[in-house]
Amino acid sequence: MPFNKMKTHVYIYKQLKKIYIITYLKWVKIPVWFKLKMNDVQVGNNLRSNGVPVIDVWELGKFSIGDNFIMNNGGRFNVIGRQQRCYFIVYNNAVLKIGNNVGMSASALICFKGITIGNNVKIGGNVVIYDTDFHSLDKYQRRSHKEDVLNTISKEVVIEDDVFIGAHSTILKGVTIGEGSIIGAGSVVTRSIPKNEIWGGNPAKFIKNTLNEPAIADKN
């Protein structure tokens, strides 16, 4: 009898949880729509947002999203640890462009110059993409806020079609990830990657191509 009662309690809990999530997802469309509209984000069809992202597009920045975009925000969705909302920060004269059929969870895209994400791209939980160093690499210039800002280096990031970026990875400025390539979880990508290759590590290094051919070092 106690076991049956416990099962009943579990069932009730799960049903209440389901009702809560359905209600939340219906309500959350309003603040998501408001943030997109107020930041003048150009949005395609069938956008789906589980939770509310952080969006901050500066006056001269541009942000566009293609069709069938899906994002998970916060602790309730795609729970894999280190949960946060998605962050889309676009500074003056910067352009952030996301293609069709893109999905991401708890990711941060910080755009000072340009970030372009192609079609059919999957971005794992807690991935960050930075197209800037944020600060000058010269210690004397960093002592002055003005000099620091003027001498910060930013370079466009391009993620081509059908790329898969594993959870907790960091993509740094000036990087292009070629079509069909895969980035292993927890990687730090500091240089461009050709198409159809698997890279991983810190800094990320070539592992093999997507046809399962071994790395050159393994052939010797």
**Burial per residue of 154-164, b for 16 or more beta-carbon CB atoms within 10 angstroms, e otherwise:** bebbbbbbbbb
Percent above pLDDT 90 for the chain: 75
Position 217 scores a pLDDT of 46
Segments making up each domain of the chain, as ranges: 2-210
If we measure between CA atoms, which residue out of 179, 178, 182 comes closest to residue 204? Answer: 182
What's the pLDDT band for 3 if we cut at 50, 70, 90? very low
Say which residues have a Cβ less than 8 Å from residue 196's Cβ, sequence separation at least 6: 178, 179, 180, 181, 209, 210, 211
pLDDT value at position 5? 56
Overall average pLDDT of the 189-203 stretch: 97
Q: Which fold has domain 2-210?
A: UDP N-Acetylglucosamine Acyltransferase; domain 1 (2.160.10)
User: Cα angle vertex 144, ends 139, 149, to 5°?
Assistant: 90
135 in active site: yes
State how beta strands 62-65 and 42-43 pair.
parallel
pLDDT mean over 37-54: 95
What DSSP element (H or E) covers 218?
helix 216-219
> Residue 4 pLDDT > 70, yes or no?
no
- Whole-number mean pLDDT of the chain? 90
CA distances to 8, 43, 216 from 70, rounded to whole Å, are: 34, 12, 37
